[in-house]
Amino acid sequence: MAAKFDPIPLDYQTEVFKKGLKYERPPITFDTTKWETQAKEILSKDSWNYVGGNAGAGQAEENNRAALRRWGILPKRLTGQQKLPDLSTKLFGKTYEFPIALCPVGVQRIFHVDGELASSSAAAEEHIPYIFSSASATSIEDVAKANGSGHRWFQLYWPANAHNDITHSLLHRAQENGYDVLVVNVDTFIVGWRPGDQDQGYSPFLRPDRVGVEMGLTDPVFQKQFKEKYGKEVDDDLGLAAGVWARIFVAGFPHAWEDLKDLRKHWKGPIVVKGIQTAEDAVACVEAGVDGVYVSNHGGRQVDGGIGSLDCLVEVVDAVGGKTPIIFDSGVRNGSDVVKALALGADFVCIGRPYVYGLALQGKEGVRHVIKSILVLTFAQHQAEYQGHNMSDRPASPTPEERAKLDKEAKAKEDAEQSALPYQWTQTIKDVDITTSVPANLKGKDFDVKLTKSGIKAGIKGQTPIIEGDFPHGIRVDDSTWTLETTATGKEMSIHLDKQNQMEWWAHVITSAPKIDTSKITPENSKLSDLDGETRGMVEKMMYDQRQKEMGKPTSDEQKKHDILKKFQEQHPEMDFSNAKIS
């Protein structure tokens, strides 16, 4: 069944412009980069730390965003497509209008009074699945009512096997209330080490306001066991009940693959395993008979230092793509991120923090705005077909911080390569100078130096040449020389190469040597910096030579020849140069 392309996602931009004619503004900004900062401004520190915080130093979430930035979109042009792209996706026997869902996010009432009721209702109205979180501040039943006829999936924080009776009760409640996909969370058997929450001493799961434990406190099996053990109802001691439930739904240790068999016995629909980050675990999912793999690192909230989730997606797709549906989240902030994940092989992409920011800013309408904005961007950047046709493994433009880091790493590598050469070299736009230290007892006759227009061979006679190979560009042989000079530590062989094209930089002296980045060469500042390089060089040389002639001094070319002769005289004092003339 084809998707029904209703005007809400497709024409949202036009709708906003029409309202603008009446001076009506959208509920929140369309700038996806501002949703986070604006939400932070209005949320309490406790609430902000919970949604915006990450595990440890936040490296995993940084890696999530960096991984998404590394991939660039290459749009295809003139495809001849005569209809709107069909983004409908068949998954688990159902056809979804869009390959997008809302991530399971808990405790939403700390962001807005309507919490999960608002976001689940918005998801239904925008025709995308809502994934219920086990940490929801609203019960399984109430979220189902708010979601109405929408698609809803149930995410399970998996209690230990000792509490299988409670697990079975939760699964039963979810199925009875129309949740048709079970998303088993396997990366949160303990809560991540999140400095922001710890600095505030804030855990929504231990508070007596039910905000993080409503699913458990409304469960009949838990209620019965609580009363039997403590002799009172859950509502009579919410603080105690919250603590008891928190120790149940965060198991404290991981389950095993064989434990999935018990879930299969008590769940009639598809089962998806969430939190997969490796090809090995993806293959294990398939072998265990689950119905889908959910690639996620919990938005960087569980393991500090984890690699970017998109990088994991590529590996997982290579391993199990085509064998089982693949769902993706972590780091997604806009429609282009959705397109990248779909193009790299994800069947469905889930959005987390952005819709929570929308919820904080404008309740249900804020969530709808975020969903529609991302859907519009997904449509706008969709080109004909997803699968690899509009993606490039060439990096997208890095941020200034990333660029500075990359430049620093590249410079360190370049310096190491150049230091390893048996010679040193420098250049100006006109010439190249090569130097190398040699034993102090050697004389000119002990060296073998051959210069041609296209290459060089230089070294000590009878030994492996110090430098041998082809030049990257031609030289003027007649104006190129070599000398042997005495230094404070011994002797140094110097080779001067006069470039044939004196308007280009060399990346290396010989083509077999490692290159330098000529784009990073910064020539000396010129008083004629408003001219292009070639013109500036010619003018400066002409002006210098003219001044020299006016003062009766040698021009630049004449001075170079005099310098060469002077070096040669110093090396051969036994020779008479009194009658030598240089033209």
Asked if 559 and 450 sit in the same domain, the reply is: no
CA 473 to chain centre: 39
Residues 430, 499 contacting (CB under 8 angstroms): yes
- Alpha-carbon span 472 to 181, nearest angstrom: 63
Asked if 537 and 583 sit in the same domain, the reply is: yes
Residues 37, 357 contacting (CB under 8 angstroms): no
77, pLDDT greater than 70:
yes
Residue length of the chain: 583
Residue 29 forms part of a structural domain: yes
Instruction: Return the active site residues.
Output: 298
Asked if 22 and 120 sit in the same domain, the reply is: yes
Name the residue type at position 311.
Answer: D
Asked if 459 and 421 sit in the same domain, the reply is: yes
- Alpha-carbon span 196 to 111, nearest angstrom: 16
Cβ-based neighbours of 74, under 8 Å, separated by 6 or more: 390, 391, 392
**CATH, residue 442:** 2.60.40.790
Residue 116 forms part of a structural domain: yes
Which domain does 458 fall in, by range? 417-523
**pLDDT given for residue 518 in this prediction:** 82
Confidence of residue 384 (pLDDT cuts 50, 70, 90): very low
Asked if 477 and 569 sit in the same domain, the reply is: no
- Alpha-carbon span 35 to 51, nearest angstrom: 13
- Alpha-carbon span 338 to 73, nearest angstrom: 11
Q: What is the mean pLDDT of the chain?
A: 87
Asked if 467 and 489 sit in the same domain, the reply is: yes
Tell me the percentage of the chain whose pLDDT exceeds 90: 62
pTM of structure: 0.68
Residue 169 forms part of a structural domain: yes
Residues 480, 455 contacting (CB under 8 angstroms): no
How many distinct structural domains can be found in the chain? 3
Tokens representing residue 473 in the block: 């560009």
**CATH, residue 56:** 3.20.20.70
Asked if 109 and 198 sit in the same domain, the reply is: yes
CA torsion sign for 354, 360, 362, 367 is positive
Asked if 352 and 485 sit in the same domain, the reply is: no
- Alpha-carbon span 111 to 370, nearest angstrom: 15
451 to 364, 468, 484, 506: CA distances (angstroms): 77, 10, 16, 17
- Alpha-carbon span 270 to 394, nearest angstrom: 37
- What angle separates helix 164-176 from helix 140-147, to the nearest 10 degrees? 20
CA atoms within 13 A on the CB side of 565: 15
Instruction: Quick: pLDDT tens for 290-300.
Output: 999 999 999 99
Residue 426 forms part of a structural domain: yes
Residue 254 forms part of a structural domain: yes
Instruction: Quick: pLDDT tens for 109-148.
Output: 999 999 999 999 999 999 999 999 999 999 999 999 999 9
